[in-house]
Amino acid sequence: MFDGYTMSELGAIFAMQGFAGLILFSVFVLMALGLAIIFGQMGVINMAHGEFMILGAYVTYLCSTFFETYLPSIFGIYFFIAMILAFLASGALGMLVEWGLIRHLYRRPLDTLLATWGLSLILQQTYRSVFGAREVGVTIPNWMLGSLPLTDMIEVPINGLFVMALAVSIAAAVYVMIFRSKWGRQVRAVTQNRVMAGAVGINTERTDRLTFGIGCGVAGVAGAAFTMIGSTGPTAGQLYIVDTFLVVVFGGAASLLGTIASAFSISQAQSIMEFFLSGSMAKVLTLLVVVGILMLRPQGLFALKVRK
Partner 1 sequence: MRAGTKILTPAEILGFVVLALLIFAVFPIALDIFRLNLVGKYLTYAFVAIGLVLCWGAGGILSLGQGVFFGLGGYCMAMFLKLEASTPEATAIQSTPGIPDFMDWNQLTALPIWWEPFNSFAFTLFAVVAVPTAFAFLIGLAMFKRRVGGVYFAIITQAFAAILTILIIGRQGYTGGVNGITDLRTLLGWDIRTDDAKYVLYFVNGVLLFVCLFAAMAIKKSKLGRLLIALRDQEDRVRFSGYDVANFKIFVFCVGAAMAAVGGAMFTLQVGFMSPSFVGIVPSIEMVIFCAVGGRHSILGAVYGALLVNWAKTTFSEAFPELWLFAMGALFISVVLLFPNGLAGLYATYVAPNVDTLINRLRPNSRAGTPKDIVAQGSPAE
Helix axes 256-276, 279-296, angle to 10 degrees: 140
Instruction: Report whether 27 contacts 232 (CB < 8 A).
Output: no
Q: Which stretch binds partner 1 (CB under 8 A): 109-117, 172-180, 202-210, 263-271?
A: 109-117
Counting contacts by CB under 8 A, is residue 119 touching partner 1?
A: yes
* Closest separation in Å from C-beta 242 to partner 1: 5
Number of residues that bind partner 1 (CB under 8 A): 41
Instruction: Report whether 269 contacts 289 (CB < 8 A).
Output: yes
Q: Which stretch binds partner 1 (CB under 8 A): 8-16, 52-60, 125-133, 191-199?
A: 125-133
CB nearer to partner 1: pick between 129 and 139? 129
Counting contacts by CB under 8 A, is residue 304 touching partner 1?
A: no
* Closest separation in Å from C-beta 143 to partner 1: 37
The neighbouring-strand residues paired with 148 are: 156
* Closest separation in Å from C-beta 257 to partner 1: 20
Report the alpha-carbon distance of residue 208 to residue 205 in Å, rounded: 5
Map the footprint of partner 1 across residues 79-108, applying CB under 8 A. 101, 104-105, 108
Counting contacts by CB under 8 A, is residue 159 touching partner 1?
A: no
CB nearer to partner 1: pick between 128 and 194? 128
Map the footprint of partner 1 across residues 240-259, applying CB under 8 A. 242, 245-246, 249
Our CA angle for 194, 196, 200, nearest 5°, is 120
CB nearer to partner 1: pick between 53 and 221? 53
Among 113, 154, 202, 229, binds partner 1 (CB under 8 A): 113
CB nearer to partner 1: pick between 102 and 138? 102
Q: Which stretch binds partner 1 (CB under 8 A): 75-83, 142-150, 217-225, 279-287?
A: 279-287
Instruction: Report whether 40 contacts 248 (CB < 8 A).
Output: yes
Instruction: Report whether 23 contacts 228 (CB < 8 A).
Output: no
Counting contacts by CB under 8 A, is residue 114 touching partner 1?
A: yes
Counting contacts by CB under 8 A, is residue 121 touching partner 1?
A: yes
State the amino acid at position 159 in one-letter form: N
Q: Which residues would be at the binding site for partner 1 (CB under 8 A)?
A: 43, 45, 101, 104-105, 108-115, 117-122, 124-125, 128-129, 238, 242, 245-246, 249, 278-281, 283-284, 287-288, 290-291, 294-295, 298
